[in-house]
Amino acid sequence: MDQITFHHDTVLSDVHMLLPNTCHLMTRLNYVGQPVFISKFKILSDGEKLDNNDPGKALKDADDYDDPKEGREKNTEATQGKDGEGCGEGNMKPFLDEDGDLDITHRPRKSPMGGSSRDLVCPIILKQSNPVLQQEEENVDDEVDKCFKGIIRIEHTMATPLEDVGKQVWRGALLLADFILSKPATFRGTTVLELGAGTGLTSIIMATIAKTVYCTDVGEDLLSMCKRNVLLNRHMTEHSGGEVRVRHLDWLQHDLCTDDDVEFSWTEDEVADMHKNTTFIIAADVCYDDDLTDGLFRTLYQLCSNFTHSCTVLISIEKRMNFTLRHMDVSCKAYDHFRHCLSQLQDLVDGRCSFSVEQLPSNFAQFLLYERIEQLELWKVIITPLPFDQARYNSELFSS
């Protein structure tokens, strides 16, 4: 396989670069020839989760991640003299081997089986394939599922062009997943629609609490990857009784595809169920292009205009600051346009719905390990249909 190269339009998620001590295993080539990796995300227990109200609280050791305490002990040993006393600054003697080279003490890797601490490397021949689960994966027994209890396995690509960023995992998805896990009573038994679901990570976590999750995006290859991830994590959703349905939904089109001959199309019953029962719409890190952002808000308006009940929309976004020669300053054009669309939605008066916009604090507990930076934001929009009489009055007033 040719070596992966970076081009001017290559985009790489910080999640893949900064996730500590995680082995990203490349498994295959997808339908369009891109390398596909699989990564594990552990949902931390109550004793392990990070309390963002208490930044000084220590994180308990998790099997899949480095133990910072162990590293500190090694550093302490390296800075002590023969008598166990710390060497003062300027008096520290370097550790040299017999050849006079600098001898660096490394923390030993944990090896549960003993013997060599290195992982066994088994070379494989990759081939381009359509992402369909093998029969043996579809019939994984309960014992194998128990090995992945509390572990989300996600297939994804890395270093993609901008149009394929949905195939990567982004911090906004992890932030939204944290919020869902911190408010289980809010989402239990609900019907949820995710827009721009990408790899499906947030939909999968939502399905551990909610009843039905419509996981939507565009592109056959992306939706196939998303469906594969849903199957890989069915041990998480089946245990709670949740269901994820991967469906095609294009923000730049007005109608939902209900053609039986098209994969990932909707059935008439699903469309009716989505309109009747959806109480939450979620979207994670999808506002990076102005045209797509406009399409997102048009889709939200069109969907909620068909609802006869209130709906809560949750949108996570990361402000990505860039220095531009045009402004000669640091700016975030995509974020500014997103805020403009939010303002327009809140001020919209059309006689059908009322809109309430609110930014939520990001100090809820952290169940997944990632860097929760200050540029991550979570927004809530409550869309409420107006009563018939008031709607008719406002409509006549608006038209005049």
**pLDDT tens-digit series, residues 79-91:** 444 444 444 444 5
In whole angstroms, give the CA distance from residue 240 to residue 250: 29
Residue 78 three-state SS: helix
| Maximum average pLDDT range among 66-80, 96-110, 112-126 | 96-110
275 sits in which H/E element: helix 268-277
SS3 assignment, position 165? helix
Please state, in angstroms and rounded to a whole number, the distance separating the CA atoms of residues 383 and 301. 9
Three-state DSSP state, 337? helix
More confident residue, 391 or 1: 391
Of 77 and 235, the structure prediction assigns the larger pLDDT to 235
* 3-state SS, residue 270: helix
pLDDT of residue 1: 38
Give the C-alpha separation, 89 to 92, whole Å: 6
Structure letter (DSSP) for residue 298? H
Give the span between the Cα atoms of 194 and 284, in whole angstroms.
Answer: 8
Q: Compare 352 and 75 and report the one with higher pLDDT.
A: 352
pLDDT band at 389 (very low <50, low <70, confident <90, very high): low
% of the chain beyond a pLDDT of 70? 68
Cross-strand pairs, 96: 102
What secondary structure letter does DSSP report for 366?
A: B
Q: Tokens for 281? A: 């719409």
- Res. 239 pLDDT band, cuts 50 70 90: confident
The amino acid at residue 347 is D
Residue 287 has pLDDT above 80, yes or no: yes
Measured between its terminal Cα atoms, the distance across the chain in Å is 65
Amino acid letter, residue 379: W
User: What pLDDT is attached to residue 3?
Assistant: 46
Section 134-153 average pLDDT: 57
The pTM of the full predicted model, rounded to 2 decimals, is 0.76
pLDDT band at residue 254 under the 50/70/90 scheme: confident
Q: What is the pLDDT of residue 72?
A: 39
- pLDDT of amino acid 127: 52
Lowest mean pLDDT, pick from 49-53, 143-147, 245-249? 143-147
Where is pLDDT greater, at 66 or 43? 43
- Mean model confidence pLDDT for the chain: 79
